Structure 1
Amino acid sequence: MNSPAPLPTTPESAPDYHIHALTGAATGSTRDLSGPLSAEITAAFAASPDGEIAVRSVDVNIPLLEKNDILAERNRGYFLGRGLTALNLVSSPGAGKTTLLERTLDEFGRQHRCAVLVGDLETDNDGQRLSRPHAPVAQITTGTVCHLDAGMIARAAQSIDLDGVRILFIENVGNLVCPASFDLGEQVRVVLLSTTEGEDKPLKYPPIFKSANLVLLTKVDVADVLGFKRDVAVENIRRIAPQAQIIQLSARTGEGMAEWYAFLQARAGRR
């Protein structure tokens, strides 16, 4: 019986995006997918004599988002099979994703092996900031695409060594609109709202907040200086996303970071 195929790649034509493993590059062959798959994907495997399924095997009449969802399901099975938890971090530009991850890798990442996939339109600046000897990091430059998609994650995940990784952070492109529609195969979606943005952001961009498992209210150390009303922001988050846990923190001062690490710890131990 053939073993499951590795993560699928994107179409035959050269992608418009680029992936650069900055630290912890994968060596040798990639590990096969394992873990539960949806009935649709299982049926596709059963119908394929060589056990392969990729984007090119999907009917072109299937809408773009449905194709993405198929790849996302494959990613999810791959991550589950490796025993890691993938978190998709989404926010407006400048909300503090990279600063948060820098401190997280330096503190939490010393005790639990983490990896990061970073998305930006251009440059590997954020990837370079996050590069650590103990944490595999790959930069995805998307060109003109304003979000990551499941195909990009499938390729990027195979570019780094995920052996022993318990937490995979996916730092999405700074945008609160497009990423809401694209499942990457993550188990947890984290939306950041900074105190520099205004308390009504959840009311203006409800889809992304409605999809959140966790909302991080960031840069709380400057809330008073900015006149930012934290209680109003929390009320707006709860109004739009009652399902989401809320953590208020500052990656600069350390306020709230223990609660963030406890959230990660609870997921790092899951198999």
Structure 2
Amino acid sequence: MDTAQLVAKATDIRRDILTMITEAGSGHPGGSLSCTDILTALYFGGVMDYDAAEPKKVGRDRFILAKGHAAPALYATLAHAGYFPVDELNTLRKLGTRLQGHPDSNLLPGVEVSTGSLGQGLSVASGLAAGLRLSGEDGVVFTVLGDGECEEGQVWEAAMFAAHQKLGRLVAIVDNNELQIDGCIHDVCDPGDLGEKFAAFGWDVVRVDGHDVDALVKLLGGLKAAAQPEGAPVAVIAKTVKGKGVSFMENQAGWHGKAPKPEELERALAELSAAVE
């Protein structure tokens, strides 16, 4: 996809995120909207090797959503990528649905690992990268973490392991929107400069505007092309805006886990449409 197509795709995904959460009456819009452009770049920018018709294809790249509460962003992305019908998005969080509040790998194709307990995703991604190297299988492992999630000690245990094991086919992308459910990350439990912290653990670190799809595609595609079985893992610090694309949600911690009302959804969808006209 070219830039205009990627922006349009990200907008469609944002519409679906907001619509499904409103329909469900619960969910996490803020952090889903902040990571939308990252997922769009990975799945539609030619970065990841995947096949929706063959979800377990040998040699595929893996994606792990460490911040599992942002499941609506992953679900909408997977639906648009062809893993399941887009119409199914409106079953989010309903009885009997495959679209649980957090991703369930036993129910939904394209979900590599069930996630939701914060801090565990990077450990899983590190284990996957180590396992792929041991088996000789190709594929890069990408994972998206929340910056608030990086307050969890297990994140840094995994970071230490990945650097020590020289997992060069592991890319951890931090959705750095600086907000968590209780407020600003620097007020709740300040993790400091996350780039400097990953570097101190032995990772290569790059920084990017997490809403610039061109920059994301170029960076992530380059990291994939350069990835080697042994080398330093890479941390991408992606500066983002919580609630991106909806004026009354942007930079508001209150929209971390609150569903829009129907009238708020109407206003949000109108803003998203106006932005791409």
- Provide the TM-score with structure 1 as the length reference: 0.38
- Provide the TM-score with structure 2 as the length reference: 0.37
